[in-house]
Amino acid sequence: MESRSYSMTETTLSTKMTYSPTQRAKMKKRGNTCNNNQLSEEPQVRVAVVGESSVGKSALSVRFLARRFLPEYAPAQELLYERQVAVDGHLIPLVVHDTASQVSSPSSIFQADGVLVLYSITNKRSFDTAKSYLEIIATEPGFENLPTVLVGHKSDLQHLRQVAYTHAQQLAWDVGCSFYEVSSESGTESVDHVFHTLIRQVLASRQRRKLSSTKDRRQRSNSITSTLWRKTRAAILEKLRRSTL
Ligand SMILES: Nc1nc2c(ncn2[C@@H]2O[C@H](COP(=O)(O)OP(=O)(O)OP(=O)(O)O)[C@@H](O)[C@H]2O)c(=O)[nH]1
């Protein structure tokens, strides 16, 4: 795989962000914690953006990370973007993998903590491809409970719509993932919402795993304690029995 890590200073992607007063005010408005010192550092979150060619994977990634629209279509090789983002008081080192993967070998998904499955609402075939990705995520071993969001992209092109909203909604419902229609052309808000939703799902899933492993440890330790207690009790009873002989 050819991949590049962009640096924010060169291409406005990938840096450790510190926030200006204006940015902090905006983050506060969006519900994010606004003080760098109050943000808790989290482990890296890796997001794979998958979907058929030309559905707008690069446009969506760049809209979220660099707040601008890519009007030109330049078929891209795989790219990795790195940046820190603030979500709900957590400072997340985010890696966005703008993929060129084939549905038949979705290796990028194996390395991801969460997946955005894109199709264009103007292209029925891209919806079928998205469906194939969702089927793989739902059925392949190793992808159990992988946080996933289905994204109907280019929602500004309503007059060219080929995929009904309700059709996609039903698919998302069937496989148990979130679903949004968004446009990278129209602005940042809906695109932010998609990424933030996925990041929240990744954090929640990590939290669940942590809790269940703590529960397992506690159960194991309880069973060790009760075995020890049974042995100690037996030893005491034996001592008492001997002393009364
Ligand atoms: N109208 C509209 N056009 C969009 C939108 N998102 C992307 N495009 C356009 O769709 C074309 C393809 O976008 P890309 O981001 O290059 O698509 P891609 O999925 O990365 O394509 P590959 O690199 O071939 O995989 C570009 O001309 C974009 O400007 C959108 O939300 N609305």
Of 54, 98, 116, 133, the residue with max ligand 1 atoms within 8 A of its CB, to mutate for a pocket test, comes to: 54
Per residue in 33-55, pLDDT (tens digit) is: 444 556 677 889 999 999 999 99
Using a cut of 0.90, tell me whether the model's pTM lies above it: no
Q: How far is the CA of 104 from the centre of ligand 1 (A)?
A: 22
Per residue in 4-24, pLDDT (tens digit) is: 443 332 233 333 333 445 554
Q: How far is CA 108 from CA 95, 97, 112, 190, in A?
A: 12, 8, 7, 24
Q: Is 159 in the pocket of ligand 1 (CB under 6 A)?
A: no
Q: How far is the CA of 131 from the centre of ligand 1 (A)?
A: 19
ipTM over cut 0.95: yes
CA 144 to chain centre: 14
What six digits make up the tokens of 143? Answer: 């992808």
Per residue in 91-143, pLDDT (tens digit) is: 999 999 999 867 766 777 888 999 999 999 999 999 999 999 999 999 888 88
Of 50, 70, 153, 161, the residue with max ligand 1 atoms within 8 A of its CB, to mutate for a pocket test, comes to: 70
Q: Is 75 in the pocket of ligand 1 (CB under 6 A)?
A: yes
Does residue 119 contact residue 51 with C-beta atoms inside 8 Å? yes
pLDDT number for residue 78: 84
DSSP string, 109-134: HHT-SEEEEEEETT-HHHHHHHHHHH
Partnered with residue 114 across adjacent β-strands are: 47
What six digits make up the tokens of 115? Answer: 């997946």
Tokens 């109907």 map to which residue?
152
Greater confidence (1 vs 111) lies with 111
What six digits make up the tokens of 206? Answer: 């990590």
Q: What is the DSSP letter of 166?
A: H
Q: How far is the CA of 65 from the centre of ligand 1 (A)?
A: 15
Residue 156 burial (CB count, 10 A): 16
pLDDT over threshold 80, residue 209: yes
